[in-house]
């Protein structure tokens, strides 16, 4: 099967027509995970079964027959790299693929994917938060240290790791070749203790500090300035009143069924959401933010096209 790739036509179409329904997709590859992270929303969802590989193929073919856009897919779980064969199959359908992993498994040689590895703290904190032994942190760090792959680390800010942000940035910037660190906040789950939640006032203070850090470290703070500003309480509360993921997103659970309202599940407290998904969806669904991004994409595609065909130009 030929890989589905972006074209100049895609960028122009989205730039003029907007981002389509289902263009931002999240797929729970498996319900299984080898960690027990205290802040994980998925642990409360109770899945006990998952679709077979043939079942996923049938699902993708069915979506294709209905005109599904197959633009961006986030592969989640559970730990998605416990079933790499599902991603190997499915990633060929999508133009962009992001693997959300805990990093305990060796990263496959997927050079056309982006890997986002969740690391919720420095070494001691990591052991406490994930319930692992002291060797797991070093293994994750080693797996992440892949200069040949597009690797980003995700740091979910909670009450327990809020004090370690600076130390974490310095360590991973010094010791690894990752492209950067992506920050988001813990989202409480209804009916469960929310002592990990960072309140709005503290969140705004942290975001201001990250904006300052970005001046110093540039893109190593992987959130854009726009994302960090939209994550501030005043803007985010307004966005969450009508989460834009409902307009452009689709989430599928481990059995391939539609999952509502999003990948966080129906028990997530959406009024206190800290996930980056609403922010990303907001940017994609607003042309004034989208046009610049896709204009840059068009320029890149044209440049690559010219480079690939430069031998014809030289002949002339």
Tell me the β-bridge partners of 47.
none
Helix or strand holding residue 85 (H, E):
helix 84-90
So what's the pLDDT on residue 28? 97
So what's the pLDDT on residue 307? 46
CA-CA distances (angstroms) from residue 275 to 197, 221, 231?
Answer: 12, 16, 9
CA-CA distances (angstroms) from residue 22 to 38, 261, 284, 306?
Answer: 30, 13, 12, 32
State the Cα torsion 254-256-261-263 to the nearest 10°. Answer: 40
Which residues of the chain fall below pLDDT 50? 298, 301-316
Q: How far apart are CA 47 and CA 87, in angstroms?
A: 19
The pLDDT tens digits of the residues spanning 67-102 come to: 999 999 999 999 999 999 999 999 999 999 999 999
The pLDDT tens digits of the residues spanning 7-44 come to: 888 888 887 888 999 999 999 999 999 998 888 888 77
pTM of the model: 0.90
Q: How many CB atoms lie within 10 A of CB 119?
A: 25
Residue 121 phi/psi, 5° resolution? 160, 170
Question: Residue ranges per domain, the chain?
Answer: 19-284
Beta strand 96-101 with 113-118 is: parallel
> What number does CATH give the domain 19-284?
3.20.20.70
So what's the pLDDT on residue 274? 96
179 contacts 152 by C-beta, under 8 angstroms: yes
> Euclidean distance between the first and final Cα of the chain, in Å?
35
């Amino acid at each position: 099967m030929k890989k589905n790739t972006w074209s100049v036509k895609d960028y122009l179409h989205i730039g003029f027509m907007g981002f389509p329904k289902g263009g931002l997709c999240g797929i729970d590859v498996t319900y299984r995970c080898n960690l027990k992270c205290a802040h994980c929303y998925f642990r409360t969802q109770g899945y006990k079964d998952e679709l077979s590989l043939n079942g996923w193929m049938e699902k993708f073919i069915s979506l294709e027959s209905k005109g599904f856009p197959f633009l961006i897919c986030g592969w989640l779980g559970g730990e998605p790299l416990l079933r790499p064969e599902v991603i190997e199959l499915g990633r060929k359908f999508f133009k962009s693929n992001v693997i959300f992993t805990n990093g305990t498994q060796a990263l496959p040689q997927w050079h056309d994917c982006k890997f986002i590895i969740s690391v919720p703290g420095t070494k001691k904190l990591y052991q406490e938060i994930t319930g692992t032994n002291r060797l797991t942190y070093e293994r994750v760090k080693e797996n992440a240290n892949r200069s040949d792959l597009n690797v980003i680390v995700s740091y979910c800010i909670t009450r327990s790791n809020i004090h370690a942000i600076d130390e974490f940035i310095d360590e991973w910037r010094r010791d690894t070749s990752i492209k950067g660190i992506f920050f988001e906040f813990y989202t409480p789950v209804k009916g469960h203790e929310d002592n990990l939640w960072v309140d709005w006032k503290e969140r705004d203070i942290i975001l201001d500090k990250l904006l300052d850090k970005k001046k110093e470290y540039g893109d190593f703070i992987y959130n854009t300035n726009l994302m960090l500003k939209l994550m501030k309480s005043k803007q985010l509360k307004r966005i969450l009143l009508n989460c834009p993921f409902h307009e452009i997103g689709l989430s599928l659970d481990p059995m391939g069924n539609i999952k509502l309202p999003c990948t966080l599940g129906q028990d997530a407290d959406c009024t206190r959401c800290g996930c980056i998904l609403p922010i990303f969806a907001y940017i994609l669904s607003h042309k004034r933010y989208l046009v610049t991004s896709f204009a840059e994409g068009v320029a890149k595609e044209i440049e690559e096209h010219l480079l690939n065909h430069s031998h014809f130009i030289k002949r002339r």
